Amino acid sequence: MIKQANAGFTLIEILVALFLAILVASSLVTVFQMSHHIFYRDFSRSELQYMARKAMEDIIDYVVQAQPDSLAVNGAEGSQLEFILSSGAKIQYSQGANYWLYRKGPDSGPPQPIVEQIAKVKFCLSGPHILTVDVVAGNEKNSFTLTQMIVPRAEIDENDWLNSL
């Protein structure tokens, strides 16, 4: 049927067009939301793994290279590590309230931020020479925990190792 130029659309045609437009728009929004959540979860998990590994590598490198004379664990739940070098300088690791891992020392400057997204750091001394470090990187959706045992001094006697276990 050929419409006249001034006849316009019927109410049924307008409702069908509106329904189809809403259907297409809602399906597009659903597809975009699903793809965003899948990408976000994978990216977030890999980012947290990277942050935990970066924090652990920094702690291991600094503690092993420095070969400290003494180690001390302080703070609530072992959240701070302080070690004293043979020169008398102190180095301290701590977890800030803003999800950053900080390192202070050996100079007297302010603490330097090392890694973000660190939800918890726990240090534990087993005997005089064995340090266990737990790093938890996380946000409100995901978390990643990394645990490492560090022996900071190379010249440990076998008896010291066995007695500390």
Helix boundaries (H) for 67-101 = none
Between 157 and 37, where is the model more confident? 37
Domain assignment present for residue 4? The answer is no
Nearest of 142, 101, 148, 141 to residue 121 by alpha carbon:
101
DSSP 19: H
Residue-range definition of the domain harbouring residue 62: 11-164
CA-to-CA separations, 120 to 21, 34, 81, 106, 129, in angstroms, rounded: 49, 31, 13, 23, 23
Rounded average pLDDT over 24-50: 78
Share of the chain above pLDDT 90, in %: 18
Domain assignment present for residue 6? The answer is no
d(CA 153, CA 83): 12
Rounded average pLDDT over 12-19: 94
Domain assignment present for residue 76? The answer is yes
Share of the chain above pLDDT 70, in %: 81
Mean pLDDT over each residue of the chain, to the nearest integer: 80
CA-to-CA separations, 159 to 64, 68, 127, 129, 164, in angstroms, rounded: 20, 20, 11, 12, 8
Which pLDDT band holds residue 164 (cuts at 50, 70, 90)?
low
- The answer to whether 87 and 97 have CB atoms below 8 angstroms apart is no
Domain assignment present for residue 89? The answer is yes
Domain assignment present for residue 96? The answer is yes
Burial environment of residue 141 by CB neighbours within 10 A (0 to 12, 13 to 18, 19 or more) = exposed
pLDDT of 137 strictly over 60: yes
How many domains are there within the chain? Answer: 1
- Other C-beta atoms closer than 10 Å to the C-beta of 86 total 10
- The answer to whether 98 and 87 have CB atoms below 8 angstroms apart is no
d(CA 105, CA 137): 23
CA-to-CA separations, 45 to 35, 52, 143, in angstroms, rounded: 16, 11, 7
Domain assignment present for residue 1? The answer is no
Q: What pLDDT was estimated at residue 27? A: 93
Domain assignment present for residue 81? The answer is yes
